[in-house]
Structure 1
Amino acid sequence: MEKIRVMLVEDDSRWQRDITEDLKLEEDLDVVKVVSSKEEAIEAAKHLPLDVILMDINLTDNNLDGIEATSEISNLGKGIKIIMLTALAEREIIVKAIEYGAINYVNKSSIQDILNCIREAHYDQVSLHPDATSAILREIRLKSLTPMEKNIFSLKEEGYTRPQMAEYFHTTLDTIGTHMKNISKKLKRRK
């Protein structure tokens, strides 16, 4: 049986130990390397035969350097699949990780989900984990908004009321209401 070659990039020794132990219990997985920094991850990716990397997002001082490593490793062109492994759930971070080359985003507290993500990634059967899906769908739908709708959406996110928005844009409440309805329709699409 050909094993899936996995590298874990994680700076917390407890998570390193726990995840590695769980991965080693799986007959079809081979933990090739465990590293704790962006630099070690990039160097290992250059020289080791790897199929999948489990990449923590924050490797040092909440710098999102796991995303930077993901970008650099993706640019190597070696076809290594990178799964972001984290406890962070902020929409902007999820979207940035995917934009920079990650193929999935999963919470490190669910080993069964991690195992499924590794296998799916290796066999090119990726389905976004629920931890990432809503953020990605929302971001895609936000791109369908017109510039004016995006401005109104941003103000609404900041807590502006409809009268405040009407005053801000020098328009009527009805116009703001129409834009709000359009925004709502676009963001709730099921297609």
Structure 2
Amino acid sequence: MEPIRVVLVDDHHLVLAGLRMLLEPLPHLAVVGTAATAAAAYAAVATHRPDVVLLDINLPDQSGLEVCRRLTTDYPGLKVLALTTLHEKSYVTRMMQEGAAGYLLKNASPEELAEAIARVHAGKKYFSDDVQELLLRPAPAAAAGPLITRREREVLLLIADGLTSHDIATRLFLSALTVETHRRNLLTKFGVGNTAALIRLAAQQQLL
């Protein structure tokens, strides 16, 4: 039986080295590539054609949400397993919407990590116990948020994905000036002064 081919994507080289050290001795797994950026991840997947990608959400050049969407769109048979420290329901649900097959926290044991890889490779979903508990937890009553237009919501979601105004303009076929106007309007409507506060408040109000 051929081993499961895995590509590791994380922006910390020590994490990549540690994951490789944990997984390489396992006979049913083969680490075929590593990447510390989204760009490197796309190249590694194109070169090595893995079965499973272990993907961190925090990457320096692009959000892991966008990376997951692109990989699962370009490679329909590929299984993406989120491996992250982000323990928030909004990130779990967004990763699932973008095509991820599972969500695992970085406090997982080596045995659980290996099991998760095998499960998603077999076509099943995998969530760590902490994540399952998070998904089952009733959502708090959302605070009344500002009224935003459909286009503003599209821009908001892409801002949360880590896209620049230029990238958003390209994606939505708008001018960069129009996107900047939407961005300023969102900051004003939410009553915040920067993008980080905008994303945090939008997530609290379950708009992401």
Q: TM-score, normalised by structure 1?
A: 0.68
Asked if 1:155 corresponds to 2:153, the answer is no
| Alpha-carbon distance, 1:134 to partner | 3.3
What is the rounded CA distance, in whole Å, between the counterparts of 2:19 and 2:80 in structure 1? 16
Match in the other structure for 2:10: 10
CA RMSD of the aligned region, Å? 2.2
Count of aligned pairs: 143
**Counterpart amino acid of residue 10 in structure 2:** E
SS at 1:155 equivalent: coil
What is the rounded CA distance, in whole Å, between the counterparts of 1:136 and 1:42 in structure 2? 29
Structure 2's unaligned 5+ residue stretches are 145-208
| Alpha-carbon distance, 1:127 to partner | 3.6
| Alpha-carbon distance, 1:22 to partner | 0.3
Q: Deviations over 1:159-190 (max 9, x none)?
A: xxxxxxxxxxxxxxxxxxxxxxxxxxxxxxxx
| Alpha-carbon distance, 1:129 to partner | 2.3
| Alpha-carbon distance, 1:136 to partner | 3.4
Match in the other structure for 1:55: 55
Asked if 1:98 corresponds to 2:96, the answer is yes
What is the rounded CA distance, in whole Å, between the counterparts of 1:39 and 1:70 in structure 2? 12
Q: Deviations over 1:75-105 (max 9, x none)?
A: 1133110000011101111111111111111
Match in the other structure for 1:22: 22
Q: Is the 8 A contact 1:46 1:76 kept in 2?
A: no
What is the rounded CA distance, in whole Å, between the counterparts of 1:136 and 1:84 in structure 2? 15
| Alpha-carbon distance, 1:36 to partner | 0.6
SS at 2:118 equivalent: helix
The structure-2 alpha-carbon separation of the partners of 1:100 and 1:125, relative to structure 1 and needing over 3 Å to count, comes to closer
Q: Deviations over 1:15-55 (max 9, x none)?
A: 11111100001011000001111111122223322100000
Q: Is the 8 A contact 1:51 1:81 kept in 2?
A: yes
SS at 2:74 equivalent: coil
Structure 1's unaligned 5+ residue stretches are 143-149, 157-191
The structure-2 alpha-carbon separation of the partners of 1:94 and 1:114, relative to structure 1 and needing over 3 Å to count, comes to same
Q: Who wins on radius of gyration, i.e. which is larger?
A: 1
| Alpha-carbon distance, 1:5 to partner | 0.1
The structure-2 alpha-carbon separation of the partners of 1:131 and 1:98, relative to structure 1 and needing over 3 Å to count, comes to farther
| Alpha-carbon distance, 1:113 to partner | 1.5
What is the rounded CA distance, in whole Å, between the counterparts of 2:49 and 2:143 in structure 1? 48
Quick one: percent identity of the two aligned structures?
A: 27
Asked if 1:134 corresponds to 2:133, the answer is yes
Match in the other structure for 2:87: 89
Q: TM-score, normalised by structure 2?
A: 0.62
Match in the other structure for 1:184: none
